[in-house]
Chains A and B, each alone.
Chain A
Amino acid sequence: SQTIHQWPATLVQPVGSPLSLECTVEGTSNPNLYWYRQAAGRGLQLLFYSVGIGQISSEVPQNLSASRPQDRQFILSSKKLLLSDSGFYLCAWSVGSGTQYFGPGTRLTVL
Chain B
Amino acid sequence: AQRVTQPEKLLSVFKGAPVELKCNYSYSGSPELFWYVQYSRQRLQLLLRHISRESIKGFTADLNKGETSFHLKKPFAQEEDSAMYYCALSTQGAQKLVFGQGTRLTINP
Are A and B genuine complex partners? Answer: yes
Interface residues of A (CB under 8 A from B): 32, 34, 36, 41-44, 46, 49, 51, 57, 59, 90, 92, 96-97, 99-105
Q: Report whether B96 and A97 are in contact in the complex, using a CB–CB cutoff of 8 Å.
A: yes
Could you say which residues of chain A place their CB within 8 Å of the CB of B98? 46
**A-B pair number, CB within 8 angstroms:** 49
Given known A-B contacts A102-B43, A102-B44, A102-B45, A46 and B96 have beta carbons under 8 A apart: yes
- Closest residue of chain B to A48, judged by CB? B96
Q: Report whether A105 and B100 are in contact in the complex, using a CB–CB cutoff of 8 Å.
A: no
The residue from A34, A46, A99 contacting B46, defined by CB atoms under 8 A apart: A99
Q: Report whether A103 and B43 are in contact in the complex, using a CB–CB cutoff of 8 Å.
A: yes
Could you say which residues of chain B place their CB within 8 Å of the CB of A59? 96
Least Cβ–Cβ distance between A40 and chain B, in angstroms = 10
Name A's interface SS. strand
Q: Report whether A43 and B100 are in contact in the complex, using a CB–CB cutoff of 8 Å.
A: yes
Write 11 A-B pairs (CB below 8 A) sorted by A numbering.
Answer: A41-B9, A43-B99, A46-B97, A57-B96, A59-B96, A96-B95, A97-B96, A99-B34, A100-B97, A101-B45, A102-B43
Interface residues of B (CB under 8 A from A): 6, 9, 32, 34, 43-46, 49, 86, 90, 93-102
Given known A-B contacts A43-B100, A44-B99, A102-B45, A97 and B9 have beta carbons under 8 A apart: no
Could you say which residues of chain A place their CB within 8 Å of the CB of B93? 97
Q: Report whether B43 and A104 are in contact in the complex, using a CB–CB cutoff of 8 Å.
A: yes
- Looking at A34, A36, A46, A97, the one whose CB has the most chain B CB atoms below 10 A away is A97
